[in-house]
Chain A
Amino acid sequence: MACPMGLPKTNYDVTKEKMESVVVFETIQISEPRDKIFRRLGYRRGVTTVDGRIEETVDRDISYALSLIHLRGAALRLPIRDRNGSTVVCGQDIVFHSSDIAGMIRDCDELLIMGATAGSDIIDAIVRDSQEDRLTRGVVLDAVASEMADAALDWIVAYFNRTLLRDNRRVSTRRFSAGYGDFRIENQKELFDILEMSRIGVRISDRFMLIPEKSVTAIAGIYGIFDRDEKGAIH
């Protein structure tokens, strides 16, 4: 029902907090980070010498790996409710004990929790290659899958940065994964549950290992920013 002057009724609660839900990315399409794959395989520019045959083989193996990798992802923004030097409380009373995380999100008011997987086909192929004396290809597939899973997290961060740009907000450049620093590997279960990672085909073992391999999770912060000119003045 429109009010006089043609305007709609004005009874919205503009202070109502946004309810975020898990965003699922069924297919993340990214170009392979070829340089990173080569670097992971030990290639050093200007030092390593690779002839055309090996390079062609590795490129063919990368292409094969890419055909087997199905990158999927999930992400969720959660408001930070409370924090101190070693604890962060977010969402519906989710608590992370980690001074590394607390430090990383010092200027943030939201967490971005994200996960990605390269899928199980690539892992099956790596296992087959290892068993069938094709370890050369197996190590390439392994490196491609690792780098692609990491790149998927980069992509998720880029996606949120793109959507946050309009709100003058941004994802922190650093991110943390369970098992690093003082953010214990046991947190993997909490992240797995929060992200509902079973929706993207990931399971978790009783030792907090994500299955299939080449599945990853991470936490980053989101902070508000101001437009500033080069002299730092806020507009």
Chain B
Amino acid sequence: MSKKKGLRSLLKKKILILDGATGTELQKRGMPAGVCPETWCIEHPEVIRAVHADYREAGSDIVYTCTFGANRIKLGQYGITDVIEVNRGLADIARQAVGKKNLVAGDIGPTGRFVAPFGDLAFDDAVDVFKEQVRGLLDGGVDLFVIETMMDIQEARAALIAVKELTDTFTIVTMTYEQDGRTLNGTDPVSAVITLQSLGADAVGCNCSTGPKEMIELIKRMNPYATVPLVAKPNAGMPRLVDGQTVFTMDAEEFGIFGTTLAAGGIAMIGGCCGTNPGHIKELARVMNDRTSRKPARKSVCAVSSSRKAVVFDNKGAVAVIGERINPTGKKNLQDELRSGRMGLIREMARQQEEKKADLLDVNVGMPGIDERAVMETVVNTLSTASSLPLVIDSSDVHVIEKALRIYPGRALVNSVTGEKKKLKELLPVAATYGAMVIALPVTDRGVPASAKERTEVIERIYKEAREYGFTKDDIIVDGVVMTVSSDPGAPLETLKTVEWSARKLKCATMLGLTNVSFGMPERRWLNAAFMAMAIERGMTVVIANPDADEVMNVKAASEVLMNRDQDATAYLARFAVALEETQRSGTAGAVPRDDIAQAVLDGNREGISEKLAVALSTGLNARQLVHDVMIPAITKVGELYERKQYFLPQLIASAETMKLGLSWLEPHLRDDVSSQDNKGRILIATVQGDIHDIGKNIVALMLGNQGFDVIDLGKDVATARIITEAKRLQPQIIALSALMTTTMVAMKEIVIAARREGLDCSFMIGGAVVTESYAAEIGASYAMDGVEAVRAAELLVKKTK
């Protein structure tokens, strides 16, 4: 029996006990702070041997080698280069300590660098770094591997691939999570378990992170999706800072008690991390007392993941939407972008589709004149960080798909495997190596079969072949193949029959590339939407569509309610909640034009402000009345609400922008109507030289303009000389200056001095993050903290001048 089979067999019998903390044990036994633990252990083998032996005595079935940092990068920081030798030696020591009856796990920790796309360490370089360590541990005769304390799912993947490419040894991968239930890099436990088990981890779990109490929640989240045993190696409680010291408060007895709760939560292996010692492990072993472990919750899972999100496909839940827009076919701007290597449009397309509730993103970069493999790599790296949505790798080139799957920090969906013999033979092993899900397209070397019956035969053949590579029904999504109704009126029905058969007989997830159905027809959206409803009724699980198409997405939401796939219509109600609120709002407004305008300013609702003003003018109100009797009181009220904190900044600015839009629309009418006294005074405003921050200054300018000041904005990073020249030319009542930094703030004083020297008798008003009232007083200026205060200060200054 191989070691792997032996371990799996052991796991069926009992929950295995792992060891506890090593670093703190070494420190207690004399290892000084700041040294390289691995080489110190080689220099003092009796110490680490005793630590391993103590854990064995305490009841550990498996001890970890002291090789957590024994990779090229970390050892290199201490000038050590013989990585293989260090790992081999430390594995030897562990074996000597525990003998052959206990198992030795080759411990692999993080490199301390983040792997692309999250860091500057290239993915394949990371794989090489880990391979070197794996070779040393294999030489040392370890029984299994443990990749632990990973914060970056991509680094965990690199380490796992390194192991897999060298050996078929049992491998545990445990990530470390923060209090918010995600790794520092944002991976949640469900995404981690889906990604790692599909990539070939034999057990998955968490270590360090938290105490056992909090770790139960992480395990509970993983458990429903786990197809492999789960592992927990918690700290001795949550570390707490007491008088500047980290304290682990949980004693051995309490730690042991939590072991039973973790066992009930589904774990198959348990040990301890920071703060634990052989006493904790002894108690854990006593409490567990050869307790039988639970089988993984399921044999397979129909799900994909990104580094931050998992999508579980469910025939009884909402239909998952694959956003189809990242495909250069017929999109010249995207083609240009891909040729140039820019990624702005790709990011924007991803964002828009995510905002429109896509669940996955299809990525197709196939077009003439590019290196598709290189472009796919760039796009996958970009989207892996720019979007939380899992990716669908869409290409006809197996090498492109292979590259994408290797570097993708999640479990991707491959679009697609067909019944074409060559493609099937090439693509299935690649998808299997990286644990991807595949879309099965019933297309053969002779083309697309016309009837549903022929298609189902192809699907059965693809499934049979896929099983040879370890795929289950949960790893496959059947595409019904959508043909256009304009060229074959019977085609959509055959597609629907294929979907129905796949969903109800084969019991597989199903999908359609929706919009093909309407090609060549006018008003395609209605055909698309109708086809969506029909396919949902037949059991469709996933759809490739443009999530920006409201008709399709609205019909999808409605169909899910009607097919009982949206419990309590929650998603439907959420989708239309704002529309409902708008309807209710519009039902109560609009009786009196001037109230409507005031309300628009108060609400900061610029939609239709011009129409509202036009209506008001048509009822006999003049522009001046609208400004002075309606809009200025409204914006003044907004200022008051803001000062009382009842409004926050976006409301203040939205109101100010509504007002500005209204004033701008009214301007031609005011020109005939308004006397010069409406201008409260001229203000020259600028951000001083060397300072490029100007959003605060822009807010102040907007607020002053709305209140009737003639504001001349010189912009940001404005030289003192220019401010003085413009002031002499325009003769403002006030010069308003903004600065955000202490190094640039000094220019304010220079400007005041220069202005006085040039004989300008205007007032000064200053503001900005570092500016204080006392500094303003010191240089002879007024101070305003924000836009509302600036209006008040400006009015006061102008009044004084007059």
Contact = CB atoms under 8 A, between A and B. Distances in A.
Q: Do A and B come from one complex?
A: yes
A15 to B, nearest CB: 7
B660 interface: yes
Given A12-B43, A167-B23, A135 B657 contact: yes
A200 B702 CA distance: 35
Interface string B646-658: 1111111110110
Interface string A10-51: 101111111111011111111100000010011110011111
A143 B80 CA distance: 46
B486 interface: no
Contact of A136 (B110, B603, B657, B694): B657
A185 interface: yes
A217 B99 CA distance: 51
B247 A230 contact: yes
Given A26-B114, A205-B690, A14 B36 contact: yes
Interface string A197-235: 001000001111101010000000001111111101001
A163 interface: yes
Given A31-B180, A67-B348, A228-B247, A18 B78 contact: yes
Given A8-B42, A31-B180, A54 B650 contact: yes
The interface centre, meaning the residue of B40, B68, B350, B742 with most chain A CB atoms within 10 A of its CB, is: B742
A34 to B, nearest CB: 13
8 contacts: A2-B92, A14-B35, A67-B348, A139-B653, A162-B208, A165-B208, A227-B24, A229-B251
Contact of B246 (A31, A48, A170): A170
Given A52-B581, A140-B650, 14 more contacts: A8-B89, A15-B35, A31-B180, A41-B649, A53-B578, A56-B578, A67-B386, A162-B149, A166-B274, A170-B241, A185-B742, A227-B248, A229-B251, A235-B277
A175 interface: no
Residue with the greatest number of chain A CB neighbours at <10 A, chosen from B355, B650, B652: B650
Q: Which of B36, B243, B691: most chain A Cβ within 10 A?
A: B36
B245 A228 contact: yes
Interface stretch (B54-62, B117-125, B627-635, B790-798): B117-125
B119 A229 contact: no
A121 interface: yes
B645 A14 contact: no
B27 A42 contact: no
A163 B656 CA distance: 48
Interface string B237-268: 00101111111110100000000000000000
B88 interface: yes
A147 interface: no
Nearest to B82: A8
Given A6-B92, A7-B92, A29-B118, A208 B743 contact: yes
A64 B692 CA distance: 23
B355 A63 contact: yes
B744 interface: yes
A165 B78 CA distance: 19
Given A42-B642, A209-B743, A135 B36 contact: no
B246 A225 contact: yes
B578 A19 contact: no
A185 B741 contact: yes
Interface residues of B, number: 109
B676 interface: no
Contacts of A24: 113-114, 119-120
B548 interface: no
A12 B81 CA distance: 11
Interface in B273-296: 274-275, 277
B34 interface: yes
A19 B79 contact: yes
Contacts of B79: 13, 16, 19
Most buried by A among B85, B119, B354, B646: B119
B554 interface: no
B654 A54 contact: yes
Q: Which of A7, A38, A107 has the most CB of B within 10 A?
A: A7
Most chain A CB neighbours (cut-off 10 Å) among B40, B77, B180, B277 = B77
B649 A139 contact: yes
Interface string B313-340: 0000000000000000000000000000
A138 interface: yes
A86 interface: no
A23 B113 contact: yes
Interface of A: 1-2, 5-10, 12-21, 23-31, 38, 41-44, 47-54, 56-58, 60-61, 63-64, 67, 70, 107, 121, 126, 130, 133-136, 138-140, 142-143, 155, 158-159, 162-163, 165-170, 173, 179, 185, 199, 205-209, 211, 213, 223-230, 232, 235
Contacts of B605: 53
Contact of A6 (B96, B690, B770): B96
Given A42-B642, A155-B184, A213-B693, A63 B351 contact: yes
Nearest to B40: A14
Contact of A139 (B80, B89, B699): B699
B151 interface: yes
B592 interface: no
B657 to A, nearest CB: 6
Given A27-B385, A53-B578, A138-B695, A207 B741 contact: yes
B215 interface: no
B645 A48 contact: yes
Contacts of B116: 26
A17 B743 contact: no
Which of A30, A54, A170 has the most chain B CB atoms closer than 10 A to its own CB?
A54
A224 B33 contact: yes
Given A6-B96, A67-B386, A12 B308 contact: no
A7 B648 contact: no
B180 A126 contact: no
A2 B89 contact: yes
Interface in B688-709: 690-695, 698-699, 702
Interface string B62-75: 00000010000000
Contacts of B275: 227
Nearest to A164: B246
A72 to B, nearest CB: 10
B247 A12 contact: no
B788 to A, nearest CB: 11
A49 B43 contact: no
Contact of B661 (A51, A54, A133, A229): A133
B646 A47 contact: yes
A165 B274 contact: yes
B28 interface: yes
A29 to B, nearest CB: 4
B347 interface: yes
Given A53-B605, A207-B744, A133 B660 contact: yes
B120 A26 contact: yes
B186 interface: yes
Highest count of chain B CB atoms <10 Å: which of A126, A135, A185? A135
Contacts of A136: 604, 650, 653-654, 657
A53 B577 CA distance: 10
Nearest to A61: B650
B702 A53 contact: no
Contact of A31 (B86, B89, B110, B186): B186
Q: Which 9 A-B pairs have the closest CB atoms?
A: A8-B89, A67-B351, A12-B39, A42-B648, A29-B186, A27-B385, A207-B690, A43-B648, A207-B743
B89 A60 contact: no
Contact of A51 (B603, B648, B695): B603
Contacts of A126: 695
Nearest to A52: B581
A162 B347 CA distance: 31
Nearest to A22: B120
B249 A179 contact: no
Contact of B117 (A27, A42, A135): A27
Which of B151, B344, B695 has the most C-beta atoms of chain A within 10 angstroms of its own C-beta?
B695
A43 B651 CA distance: 10
